[in-house]
Amino acid sequence: ETGVTQSPTHLIKTRGQQVTLRCSSQSGHNTVSWYQQALGQGPQFIFQYYREEENGRGNFPPRFSGLQFPNYSSELNVNALELDDSALYLCASVSGSGTGELFFGEGSRLTVL
Amino acid sequence: QKEVEQDPGPLSVPEGAIVSLNCTYSNSAFQYFMWYRQYSRKGPELLMYTYSSGNKEDGRFTAQVDKSSKYISLFIRDSQPSDSATYLCATHTGGFKTIFGAGTRLFVKA
């Protein structure tokens, strides 16, 4: 039990639509990261938020955006969905111990038709 | 070239076998090395963590890092059917971005 919960667990969208995924972080962890995991691949870093500010971003286009709230919950928004956006989206709270350990939720599986 | 290379398998072994999982990486700046385990339909969970080179043992699991050859290994002794999962090697420089390998699917047959 990581204390990280994500919603929804599954959803289906069509090309061009927009989606919002939500994450509730582990208590005490003020840093959250989002990852995209395509089928058969490892997670790919999308971005990270620390105290409501984005402080790192991977190689994803601007239509991937996020928010972090004062209670450290967060959202991932994806606009203009493409077929290749079909993946498992993982939220992780980041350990403050300096090791960078990630505590993942179970993910939101997005299918784009 | 990917920053972290990992053979996706699948790897199938009988119960009780010793399992060896491996990754290579390209960036000598990586300092932190991890192995995550991911069961089907679950998020990854940290299994082993190593800083810089050397070995680390935890029960049936041993992680090795050889920075001179940029090689990361995970050994599982006395493998059990419950070890059947995808094993992801991962690394970072101490910054915000963790880089994962593609993951190796392991099946341990009873």
pLDDT tens sequence across B17-68? 999 999 999 999 898 999 999 999 899 999 999 988 889 999 999 999 999 9
pLDDT tens sequence across B3-19? 999 988 899 999 999 99
More confident residue, A26 or A74: A74
Which residue among B42, B98, B101 sits closest to A102, beta carbon to beta carbon? B98
Residues with Cβ within 8 Å of A97's Cβ and at least 6 positions away in sequence, in order, are none
pLDDT tens sequence across A40-62? 999 999 999 998 999 999 999 99
Query: What is the 3-class SS of A86-110, one letter each residue?
Result: CEEEEEEEECCCCCCCEEECCCEEE
CB contact under 8 A, B96 and A48: yes
Contacts of residue A58 in chain B, CB cutoff 8 Å? 97
Which residue among A4, A31, A100 sits closest to B98, beta carbon to beta carbon? A100
With CA atoms as reference, report the closest residue to B67 among B26, B101, B19, B22: B26
pLDDT tens sequence across A92-113? 998 877 778 899 999 999 999 9
Q: Place B2 in a pLDDT band, splitting at 50, 70 and 90.
A: confident
Q: What per-residue confidence (pLDDT) applies to A1?
A: 59
Q: What per-residue confidence (pLDDT) applies to B92?
A: 86
Q: What per-residue confidence (pLDDT) applies to B21?
A: 97
- Record the tokens describing residue B106, joined without a space: 């392991």
